[in-house]
Amino acid sequence: MASAVLDHDPPPKHLDEDDENDCPIEEVRLTVPTTDDPSQPCLTIRTWILGIISCVLLAFVNQFFDYRTNRISISSVCIQILALPIGRWMARVLPTRRIPIPLLNRSFSLNPGPFTMKEHVLITIIASSGSGGNYSVNVITIVKAFYRRSINAMAAMLLAQTTQVTIFTPLNPPQKTIFNLFFSFTDLQLLGFGWAGLFRKYLVDSPFMWWPSNLIQVSLFRALNEEERRPKGGLSRLQFFLISLGCSFAYYIVPNYLFPAIGSVSVLCLIWKNSIPTQQIGSANKGLGVGAFAIDWATATAWLGSPMAAPPFVLVNVLAGYVILIYILMPLCYWTNIYDARRFPFLTSRLFDRGGAPYDLDRILEAESFSLDVRQYESYSDIYMSTFFAISYGIGFATLTATLSHVFLFDGQYMLKLWRQATSKANEKILDVHGRMMKANYAAVPQWWFHVILVSMTALSIYTCEGFGGGLQLPYWGILLAIAMALFFTLPIGIIVATTNTFPGLNIITEMVIGYILPGQPMANVVFKTYGYISMTQAITFLSDFKLGHYMKIPPKSMFVAQLVGAVIANACYFCTAWWLLTSVPNICETDLLPPDTPWTCPGDSVFFSASIIWGVVGPYRMFGPGSIYAGLNYFFLIGLLAPVPVYVFHRLFPEKKWIRLISFPVIFGATGMMPPAKAINYNCWFVVGFAVNYWVFKRHKQWWGRYAYVLSAALDAGTSFMAVVSFFALGNYDIYAVNWWGGVLDDYCPLAKCPTEAGAYIPDGCPQIQ
């Protein structure tokens, strides 16, 4: 997302402590309350019951849907809305008696009084641990479903729940690899949590680090908890949510079971049934998606999240990037046969050999060492990608450098000023009204709590890699290098996120670094990427939550405990759900073996698997180095670096034209970052809903939009997800996925879209012989 700091003057060097609200950021002054009641209870029995149940449900549902073709992701906003009436009901019915805790010589009350906003915030914080996903599950999936290596179920489950290595017995070599793998990922969230504390002073306490995304949460908390007067003849937000949830729940039985075909309708394919180019242009799932549409909320939100959360200027930037790549660049590359484009299907993340056949990984991968057999690779074939997949990597390169260039040009001076204000000893004592209230009313989390977690998790991670025969393929110095990269980038990227709401990722950088250092070792690559990228992401997520607690006046120690418990519980639930599906759904993720009406195609894991081959098995030097097939993609680094410069120049020349400042090449380049696994149909629906609600409705019915837009989004998410879960247990457990008729298949009816069009190429099953 482009910078949220568009037209602000630099923050003042001195703040008047006598002002009622002296926060230097206007958005914060308009949104965050300046009142607090330190006597309000926080970590009550209601908080723990609702928080833990919500965390388990969100983790289960989100992991459950992560394997499906139309992925559904439920955010903590659903819990944020549902927890309020349930919490108030508990406050009415629970007894007020106190329960003693003999070992601690303390007691707690089952009902400490009215349900408070602070309880509401902490419930949402605990629940949010179950809404972000778990990166290590991708590794579990590709090892079991794609690499087809054995996993010790008991060791994996225990390792997801504990860090006590001494209770395990030695495993055979294939299992030992997975044993070490699960053990290391169990600690990743805690590792990120550990160094979040190191930067808390700069990214949470400073009033200039304002975390724009948190203001939406603050607004919703206030709207739900503060006194609300129902409009005459209208509905309260809660009433509107419940009605919308019921409608969404009832409707989703149609695209999920009765008529799945409306989840991707390709008009051109239905008209021209025998034309390969037309189906490639019109296919919703395997082509450009021209004229394709869906009547399914899950399709619109599968990979891009709710379109109602994207402001209009972001929608325009994403649309520009989508049109440039999908409707200009890709047709040009494909029909001019760049990278032998016409030898392969139009849009796929699968990998091929030089003849166009699916790449036979078993021929180049040594089973015992789980590494590249260089001699076999050289005698067999280089790896080929569909041109779309290759270009998507180039776009990823451009996104990385464009983000750095854009932030440096547009926000560099502003961020430097913020950094100086946050780190200068002269300014350390300058706190805004929120900082002064937190300091006066609550004790800070001791820094040594974070240090203990950081040191212990680092030591356990090193022991994991070196203590069990090196099954992870990553030596101790690899762990230290990954941690060093994450530590180095956490603060500058944290400043970017906290001030501009832009989040540049490190996944490509980490994959590239370890791929050059340790080529041919896929486990080393994914483990290094996870330590270097995901642990930094976790740290920034924890810091963002701390800032939310700062705004809502939650005691820091309560925030610490809530985050810690939520992370541990969510981790266990993610793993258990993934393991259950991987062992109970026949042929899960193997699209060639699945029946057409089965939704378990694992599109995200398929891309992760291909990435592990490209960066890990083969390595970046063979894929993108000098003389390689895709060496030209490295020019995208330069393109991304230079692209924001003309925008900056025109912005300086014509400062009165505010729209120029809203052109964001990080957003334009990153627009199609989810393709694959996202499809054209997902983007088409996302744009339609986004512009309809956030432009047309906002412009014509602003009062309605302000009252109900975010509530509607949460209700649609929740209703769709609940019906999908109910349908699975009621029907899917019996292998019944849809009504048996032509509309009962989630297919765009474009069988020719996946066919290559180059004469002599490999012909996939189902494609007609090409003359």
- Burial class of residue 656 (count of CB atoms within 10 Å of its CB; 0-12, 13-18, 19+): exposed
Which positions ≥6 away from 47 have C-beta within 8 Å?
119, 122, 123, 126, 562
Q: Under a CB-based contact definition with an 8 Å cutoff, are residues 386 and 348 in contact?
A: yes
Q: What SS3 class is residue 190?
A: helix
Quote the CA–CA distance of 99 and 112 in Å, as a whole number: 12
- What is the C-alpha to C-alpha distance for residues 237 and 239, in angstroms, rounded to an integer? 6
Residue 7 tokens, joined: 């037209």
Q: Are 559 and 442 in contact (CB under 8 A)?
A: no
Assigned token pair, 334: 């494909």
Residue 49: per-residue pLDDT: 93
Q: Which residue ranges in the chain fall short of pLDDT 50? A: 1-19, 152, 154-187, 769-771
Q: Closest Cα to residue 2, out of 488, 659, 654?
A: 659
The position carrying tokens 């030596």 is: 475
Closest C-alpha to 318, from 658, 644, 666, 6: 666
Distance (Å, rounded) from C-alpha 166 to C-alpha 540? 32
* Inter-CA distances, 723 with 246, 350, 578, 719, 720, Å: 10, 32, 20, 6, 5
Nearest to 489 by CA among 536, 538, 535, 525: 536
Is 771 exposed, middle or buried, given 0-12, 13-18 or 19+ CB atoms closer than 10 A?
exposed
CA distance 604 to 255: 21
* Number of residues in the chain: 771
* 301 vs 319: CA distance, rounded Å: 16
Q: Which amino acid is at 723?
A: M
pLDDT of residue 425: 56
pLDDT for 116 equals 92
Three-state secondary-structure class, residue 343: helix
- Per the CB < 8 A criterion, the answer to whether 9 and 25 are in contact is no
Q: Could you give the C-alpha distances from 250 to 238, 258, 306, 597, 727, in angstroms and in order?
A: 18, 12, 20, 21, 11
- pLDDT in the model for residue 172: 34
Instruction: Identify the burial level of 166 via C-beta atoms within 10 angstroms of its C-beta, where 0-12 means exposed, 13-18 middle and 19 or more buried.
Output: exposed
State how far the Cα of 401 lies from the Cα of 641, in Å rounded to an integer. 5
H/E stretch holding 715 = helix 702-730
Distance CA 555, CA 281 (A): 56
The tokens of 102 are what? 């003999």
> 602, 610, 554: which is closest to 578 by C-alpha?
602
Cα distance between the two ends of the chain: 47
- At 515, which amino acid appears? G
Give the number of other Cβ atoms within 10 Å of residue 731's Cβ.
14
**pLDDT the model gives residue 89:** 93
Q: What pLDDT, on the 0 to 100 scale, is given for residue 540?
A: 85
> Which residues is 352 bridged to in the sheet?
358, 384
Locate 254 and state its tokens. 């149609």
Q: What element of type H or E holds 559?
A: helix 556-584
Q: What are phi and psi of 371, to 5 degrees?
A: -145, 170
Contact between 295 and 743 (Cβ < 8 Å): no
Angle at 413 between CA 407 and CA 415, to 5 degrees: 65
Please state the pTM of the whole predicted model. 0.76
DSSP 168: P
Query: Of the candidates 753, 748, 756, 752, which has an alpha carbon nearest to the alpha carbon of residue 69?
Result: 748
Task: Give the three-state DSSP class for 96.
Answer: coil
Report the amino acid identity of residue 636: F
**Rounded CA separation 514/663 (Å):** 34
- For residue 274, give every residue at least 6 positions away whose Cβ sits within 8 Å of its Cβ, in sequence order, or none: 752
Annotate 60-90 with b (16+ C-beta within 10 A) or e (fewer).
Answer: bbbbbbbbbbbbbbbbbbbbbbbbbebbeeb
What does each C-alpha distance from 521 to 143, 281, 353, 615, 627 come to in angstroms?
A: 13, 38, 20, 9, 22
How many C-beta atoms lie closer than 10 Å to residue 392's C-beta? 22
In 231-329, the DSSP E strands lie at 265-266, 292-293
Question: Tell me, what's the pLDDT at 133?
Answer: 67
DSSP conformation letters of 436-470: HHHHHHSPPPPHHHHHHHHHHHHHHHHHHHHTTSS
Residues in contact with 436: Cβ distance below 8 Å, sequence separation at least 6, in sequence order? 17
